[in-house]
């Protein structure tokens, strides 16, 4: 199961264009713990202008 970090929708799997980003550091917090943040296809487009591809070659 995967949850969108923006709209909070849920999917059983991350195919069909979901994007996941590694949030690796925050210069203002020395004890920052890295985490992953996922976006559904709609939020990816709205927030970043990214149209996720569903297949790679």
Position 57 scores a pLDDT of 47
CB 6 within 8 A of CB 37: no
**Burial tier of 50 (Cβ tally within 10 Å: 0-12, 13-18, 19+):** middle
Average pLDDT over the chain, rounded to an integer: 82
Q: What whole-number distance in Å separates Cα of residue 33 and Cα of residue 20?
A: 16
Q: In this model, does residue 33 exceed pLDDT 80?
A: yes
pTM check: above 0.75: no
């Amino acid at each position: 199961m995967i949850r969108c970090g923006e709209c909070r929708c849920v999917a059983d799997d991350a195919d069909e264009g979901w994007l996941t980003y590694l949030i690796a550091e925050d210069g203002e917090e020395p004890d920052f713990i890295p985490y992953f943040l996922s976006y559904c296809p709609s939020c990816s487009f709205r927030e970043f202008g990214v149209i996720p591809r569903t297949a790679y070659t």
